[in-house]
Amino acid sequence: MPLTSEKLLTVDSSFVLTGLGVLVRTNPETGQPRLLHYPLHTVLAVVLVFADGPPMTATASVEEVTRSSPLAAQAMLTEYALLLQLPEPVAVPAGTEVWLAAEQPADPWL
């Protein structure tokens, strides 16, 4: 599946969520604007480009993550992330790029 010219994010951290998939997030200051163009839970065909190894296609949904702020005890931070559906749920290495695939799913309820 070929890439488009739209890089969605560069992985800063990832978390395996048993039964759900792999949540990948980026640095909120650099990667958020691209994901904000999509409504929550939008299903996207994506290509993961690893620093070493062949690219991998996957399905992802746009999700929202809320966490406590490290700077203010009472403050909450909200950021967008991608929830990947991978053949095997494994952590995605930091630095991996996630690109929008050229062909998108016809059915929004994959």
Residue 75 has a CB neighbour count (10 Å cut-off) of 9
The pLDDT tens digits for 67-100 are 777 777 777 888 899 999 998 888 999 999 999 9
Say what the pTM is.
0.84
Using CA atoms, how far residue 11 sits from 37, 54, 70, 105, in Å, is: 18, 16, 20, 23
The pLDDT tens digits for 42-76 are 999 999 999 888 999 999 999 999 877 777 777 78
Contact residues for 49 (Cβ-Cβ < 8 A; gap 6+): 3, 55, 96, 97, 98, 99
Give the CATH number of domain 3-101. 2.40.30
Q: Which among 78, 1, 87, 69 is positioned nearest to 32, based on CA atoms?
A: 78
